[in-house]
A and B are shown apart, each in its own frame.
Chain A
Amino acid sequence: MLSIKNLHACVEDKQILNGLNLEIKAGEVHAIMGPNGSGKSTLSQVLAGNEAFDVTKGEVTFNGDNLLDLPTEERAREGLFLAFQYPVEIPGVSNLQFLRTSVNAMRKHHGIEDMNAAEFMKLAKAVSKQVDLDPAFLKRGVNEGFSGGEKKRNEVMQALLLQPKLAILDETDSGLDIDALKVVADGVNALRAPDRAILMITHYQRLLDHIVPDYVHVLSTGKIIKSGGPELALELEAKGYGWLGIEDQAAANHG
Chain B
Amino acid sequence: MATTDEEVRELIKREYEHGFVTEIESDTFEPGLNEDVIRRLSDLKQEPEFMLEWRLKAYRRWLEMEEPEWAHVDYPQVKFDDISYYSAPKRPEDMPQSLDEVDPELLKTYEKLGIPLHERAKLAGVAVDAVFDSVSVATTFKEPLEKAGVIFCPISEALQKHPELVKKYLGSVVPVADNYYAALNSAVFSDGSFVYIPKGVRCPLELSTYFRINAANTGQFERTLIIADAGSYVSYLEGCTAPMRDENQLHAAVVELVLLDDAQIKYSTVQNWYPGDETGKGGIYNFVTKRAACIGKNSKVSWTQVETGSAITWKYPSCILRGDNSVGEFYSVALTHNYQQADTGTKMIHIGKNTSSTVISKGISAGRSSNAYRGLVKFNPGAEGARNFTQCDSLLIGDRCGAHTFPYIESKNKSAIVEHEATTSKVSDEQMFLCRQRGIEPEQAVSMIVNGFCKEVFKELPMEFAVEAGKLLEVSLEGSVG
Contacts and interface: CB of A to CB of B under 8 A. Distances in A.
Contacts of B437: 48-49, 72-73, 75-76, 81-82, 84
Interface stretch (B64-72, B198-206, B439-447): B439-447
B452 A102 contact: no
A92 B436 contact: no
Contact of A92 (B429, B433, B442, B455): B455
Given A88-B431, A90-B449, A91-B452, A73 B440 contact: yes
Q: Determine which residue in A50, A84, A106 has the highest number of CB atoms from chain B within 10 A of its CB, and name it.
A: A50
A236 B428 CA distance: 38
A101 B440 contact: yes
Nearest to A83: B437
Contacts of B433: 48, 50-51, 72, 88
Contacts of B440: 73, 101-102, 105
A158 interface: yes
Interface string B442-463: 1010001101111110000000
A71 B7 CA distance: 14
A27 interface: no
A241 B434 CA distance: 32
A25 to B, nearest CB: 23
A90 B431 contact: yes
A109 interface: yes
B429 A105 contact: no
Nearest to B429: A52
A76 B434 contact: no
A101 B428 contact: no
A99 to B, nearest CB: 8
A43 interface: no
A84 B430 CA distance: 10
B95 interface: no
Contacts of A97: 448
A105 B437 CA distance: 11
Interface in A216-247: none
Interface residues of B, number: 25
Nearest to A74: B439
Contact of B434 (A71, A77, A88, A105): A88
Interface size class of A (residues with CB under 8 A): 20 to 34
A14 to B, nearest CB: 16
B436 A76 contact: yes
Contacts of A49: 436-437
B123 interface: no
B2 A101 contact: no
Contacts, number: 81
Contacts of A142: 434, 452
B311 to A, nearest CB: 28
| Of listed B429, B436, B438, B449, residue having the most chain A CB within 10 A | B438
Interface string A62-100: 000000000111011100011010011011110001110
A109 B444 CA distance: 15
Contacts of B456: 92
A162 interface: yes
A105 to B, nearest CB: 4
Interface in A152-169: 158, 162
Contacts of B455: 92
A73 B442 contact: yes
A214 to B, nearest CB: 25
B1 interface: yes
B454 A73 contact: no
Contacts of A106: 439
Nearest to B1: A51
A162 B438 CA distance: 9
Nearest to A109: B439
Interface in A103-133: 105-106, 109
A147 B428 CA distance: 21
B453 A91 contact: yes
B448 A73 contact: no
A45 to B, nearest CB: 8
B452 A105 contact: no
Contacts of A102: 435, 438-440
A142 B434 CA distance: 10
Q: Which of A87, A93, A99 has most chain B Cβ within 10 Å? A: A93
Interface in B446-482: 448-449, 451-456
Contact of A72 (B436, B448, B449): B436
A20 B113 CA distance: 57
B430 A88 contact: yes
Given A102-B440, A105-B439, A93 B449 contact: yes
Contacts of B434: 84, 87-88, 90, 142
A90 B435 CA distance: 10
A158 B438 contact: yes
A92 B1 contact: no
Question: Which of A77, A81, A102: most chain B Cβ within 10 A?
Answer: A102
Nearest to A45: B433
A200 B431 CA distance: 23
Contacts of A98: 435, 438, 448
A113 to B, nearest CB: 16
Given A52-B2, A73-B441, A105-B444, A90 B452 contact: yes
14 contacts: A51-B429, A71-B436, A72-B433, A72-B437, A73-B440, A77-B439, A88-B433, A92-B455, A93-B451, A98-B435, A99-B438, A105-B439, A162-B438, A162-B439
- The 6 A-B pairs of least Cβ separation, nearest first, read A92-B452, A93-B452, A102-B438, A92-B455, A72-B436, A105-B439
Given A87-B434, A105-B444, 20 more contacts: A48-B433, A48-B437, A51-B433, A72-B433, A72-B437, A73-B439, A76-B436, A76-B437, A84-B434, A88-B428, A88-B433, A90-B434, A90-B449, A92-B453, A93-B448, A101-B438, A101-B444, A105-B438, A142-B452, A158-B438
Interface of B: 1-2, 428-431, 433-442, 444, 448-449, 451-456
Interface of A: 48-52, 71-73, 75-77, 81-82, 84, 87-88, 90-93, 97-99, 101-102, 105-106, 109, 141-142, 158, 162
